Amino acid sequence: MIKTHSSHDIFAKRFLTDLKVAADFLKAHLPEVIKSRCDFRSLKIEPTSYIEEDMRQHTTDILYSLKLDNKPGFIYCLIENQSKPEKLMALRFWRYQASILKHYAENNKGKSLPVIVPLLFYTGSQSPYPFSLDLADCFEDPMLAKEVLTGPIHLIDISVIPDDEIKTHGSAALLELVQKHIKARDILNLGYEIAALLRHFRISRDLAADMLKYVVLEGESQNIDAFLKIIQNETEYRNEAVTIAEQLIQRGMQQGMQQGIQEGIQLGKLEEARVIAKNMLKKGLGFDLIKEITGLTDEELKSLRNFH
């Protein structure tokens, strides 16, 4: 799709890509708390072509890099001349900045992310600019949004939560206990815990079946059969446990058959190699040549020679 930009935007960008003009512009408009941290001698213009195409259709922007407190930093300036200002402009900025940070992280593995200072250069006809540029104000509950956006992500580290506490989490305890202990070698104790929870908290049969399949497929215990027996005998999900146990048996039979077929193929190849080696020995060919052609060991060749 062809990008369309107004002559106003193009004119502004022409000036703001001149580094001397850009430095004067930024010194005039940046908040003092930011400006005092900037080393304008390090100011450079960076590409923004990697920003997703759907966000760039009608965008005129400039990305400056510079040192902020002697660390890498960016100033992202969006030039806006729309006759109808965008109510969710702060969300657009958030998307642009996320794209810039993603690109930086991909090209600077292991490094911390730089700060991006966002600037909106507005020259539209409606004055003053009518909408908030605080991302929190894009939400129905700005106060709650600000609290969530500025705080850390809430971590649920299931590995450090005691089992007794997990058991107070209602039916979600089934998910949490299984995922916490899925790699346990002895899964029988977990089986009794799961059975007790299944008796107390009713979940759908499909969900129970999915949980049992997960334990069977991802668990590392040698007691899977015994685990299924516990569920079968002590909960109402007997049919689900029986079905999965039968599937296990069937899968084991299929694997056994496949292994037998593979072993048969290998035995056939070995026998064929022995026949070839016998004929070569009869013709007096050397061990090294026969080994190279047949892949047999010295011991196997000696036994064939002694046999004849």
**Pick the residue with more confidence: 223 or 45?**
45
Contact in structure between 124 and 83 (CB atoms under 8 Å):
yes
Q: Hunting for tokens 């039968």 — which residue is that?
A: 246
**Pick the residue with more confidence: 9 or 98?**
98
pLDDT of residue 31: 95
pLDDT in tens, 172-191: 999 999 999 988 877 888 89
pLDDT beyond 50 at 261: no
pLDDT of residue 253: 44
**Band of residue 5 on the pLDDT scale cut at 50, 70, 90:** low
pLDDT in tens, 84-142: 788 999 999 999 999 999 999 999 999 999 999 999 999 888 889 999 999 999 999 99
Q: Which of 224, 221, 240 lies closest to 232, judged by CA?
A: 240
Q: Is 236 helix (H, G, I), strand (E, B) or coil?
A: coil
**Band of residue 307 on the pLDDT scale cut at 50, 70, 90:** low
Enter the pTM of the model.
Answer: 0.68
Structure tokens at 248: 């296990």
Contact in structure between 79 and 35 (CB atoms under 8 Å):
no
Structure tokens at 250: 């069937």
